[in-house]
Structure 1
């Protein structure tokens, strides 16, 4: 099947990219490094060309693995990384000062083994630094040829517009899936107005929209889904499981897996939407890639929209600590539960 590529900046990429967080941390122990490199090479061989990482992932190790595994193919890749959320002396930090952003970029360039990063995001807003100052640093990095495009992550429409007034924002990265619809409140409209791509992370609902769905009872004790994401708490998770019945029925109707359906739904939400599912599983890597071949009718999309209406989710997206670090708009029911 001939898959229509999607534009990000001045590049056209395969519609489904690869999020490179959980090869190093987040959902339990990291992959053994030889397996992580093999997964990255397999992704490239399949046809993935948009790889999304961050300074924070594995405290820089995700970037290094990409540089090691795919450095020889640099000209064929669209590389994205992130700053502001970083690390110092082995501890997580949040620092959006221009000089810190520029130093972080230099370090990322070395780890990625490249002279330029295609897309460089502010990973989170720094409440102590005006967004205009942080985006100004990205503008300087573009002028210096260190990065090609500027991006924001987990921010609301107001900050997107404020940032875009300083320098064009090529992409906004937000969590977006059938289970997490928050960008529909305001961010998607702002992206459309500004010509900004929406890079949808966790389009498979952090594993919830898989078949079988991720089961909290099997999570490793270090899996951050147990501590940061209330929808995976036992009582909330049980309340969310019935949502999957319609997804399974629709997947059977379409002739695909639930994960493919979930990714295809994000793709159906607009030509500027680019999902970046992450995985440590080679079978899932192939499955996610195939999702770009799944076409949903407008009726199927509308039925999924209705069944996964935001208020039907049980529990807020983040706990209080997680929510405090983002400015993405919230639904009223999340405020009540938070």
Structure 2
């Protein structure tokens, strides 16, 4: 997708355009409907040069997802794929972002077959190629996606579809193994034992090293884990979406499974760029997100103001407080905020240096419990695919 030259902006327009996590027009759902464009793959620096220039990470803390060691924060791939507007980023821009992440100690990169579809895996694969052996790549299967056109035809986790998806992912990621492979959404028509058995075979073949589930039902987690141990569960989890705390997190702790919050900044809400006067452009996903509609936004801003107050206490941004709060729950929780800007990535990484004492966490949760969140956590089509149980094994 080629970027057209924009007319010169006024100073006020520039300020607005450069606002933290400024979302442009977006009418697509997570992992679906992104425009498929031609990606011009700029050449990466060779591995030796990058290794020589690599900086000492500002925070080298690591965490465990099951037995898989990852950086304390990950990087979600959707923003560079144009999900939040601005079109698919040029590969040279993506290379710089991912190299910057690597040089600053972030080595956990999340993508999926349906991000594009197909294009984001290409972006990530090209960007991390010079230092592939030093990083962890997570990707996802779970939909019937044409491996040539990218046409998506619905949820599908039949064994043959899984194998086709993995072969396509390996090719696009320019690798011979996937560190962490998720089922993107549970297929209610395929027993999870068949899914787990197929992934177990792929692990034995060396094509996959670890596996996980995204937004599964509780019983499905237990059944999948019994066939082959899960390394991670990836669910939506943030200051305004906390339903995983009731049952999913305790189950993860019981079974020794890591937890990866997606959308940890609430579609950019906790990045602090939204106020009571914000009006989203036509096509922006947040125009239909229940919690950012005009009737609910005023109430939900009370939550943002609360986070900003804690930011003043901790000398941190709202994004940093939001991420550090997630990390403070358990040492096996690894948020994956997405961004297309290196400055925002570095800002997020400073969350690794923010600590909450037990007393502060208690105070935080006491105050947080008094704030009522208005609106459903997501639009109904997305919610309908969450917490699904797979078909019983006959």
Report Cα offsets for 1:21-46 as digits up to 9, x if no partner.
22114322434223233222221222
Q: Verify: 1:107 aligned to 2:168, yes or no.
A: yes
Query: Which residue in 1 is equivalent to 2:291?
Result: 231
Query: Which residue in 2 is equivalent to 1:195?
Result: 256
Distance 2:231 2:277 in 1: 36
Query: Which residue in 1 is equivalent to 2:356?
Result: 296
Report Cα offsets for 1:214-251 as digits up to 9, x if no partner.
88945454433333x31122211222011122211111
The structure richer in helix per residue is 1
Distance 2:231 2:196 in 1: 12
Contact in 2 for aligned 1:27/1:225 (Cα 8 Å): no
Query: Which residue in 2 is equivalent to 1:333?
Result: none
Match runs of 1:144-183 below 5 Å: 144-183=205-244
Shift of 1:68: 0.9
Shift of 1:199: 0.7
Distance 1:128 1:250 in 2: 46
Distance 1:124 1:182 in 2: 17
Distance 1:206 1:305 in 2: 22
Report Cα offsets for 1:51-100 as digits up to 9, x if no partner.
01100111111111111111111111011000003533443331111110
Query: Which residue in 1 is equivalent to 2:131?
Result: 73
Distance 1:136 1:115 in 2: 20
Contact in 2 for aligned 1:31/1:280 (Cα 8 Å): no
Contact in 1 for aligned 2:272/2:304 (Cα 8 Å): no
Aligned partner of residue 57 in structure 1, secondary structure: coil
Distance 1:325 1:216 in 2: 32
Which of 10-19 and 24-33 deviates more?
24-33
Contact in 1 for aligned 2:203/2:210 (Cα 8 Å): yes
Distance 2:301 2:230 in 1: 37
Contact in 2 for aligned 1:28/1:222 (Cα 8 Å): no
Which of 211-220 and 146-155 deviates more?
211-220
Distance 2:276 2:157 in 1: 36
Match runs of 1:1-338 below 5 Å: 3-33=60-90, 34-85=92-143, 87-88=145-146, 89-92=149-152, 93-213=154-274, 217=278, 219-227=280-288, 229-309=289-369, 312-327=372-387
Aligned CA distance change for structure 1 residues 32 and 310 (closer, same or farther; 3 Å): farther
Aligned CA distance change for structure 1 residues 3 and 283 (closer, same or farther; 3 Å): same
- Answer with 1 or 2: which has the greater Rg: 2
Shift of 1:211: 2.2
Q: TM-score of the superposition, structure 2-length normalised?
A: 0.78
Query: Which residue in 2 is equivalent to 1:335?
Result: none
Distance 2:233 2:210 in 1: 11
Aligned CA distance change for structure 1 residues 124 and 216 (closer, same or farther; 3 Å): farther
Shift of 1:328: 6.9
Contact in 1 for aligned 2:276/2:301 (Cα 8 Å): no
Report Cα offsets for 1:226-283 as digits up to 9, x if no partner.
33x3112221122201112221111111111110000000000101101111112222
Distance 2:211 2:151 in 1: 26
Shift of 1:179: 1.2
What are the ranges of 5 or more consecutive residues in structure 1 without an aligned counterpart? Answer: 330-338
Contact in 1 for aligned 2:68/2:231 (Cα 8 Å): no
Contact in 2 for aligned 1:182/1:328 (Cα 8 Å): no
Give the alignment's Cα RMSD to 1 decimal: 2.1
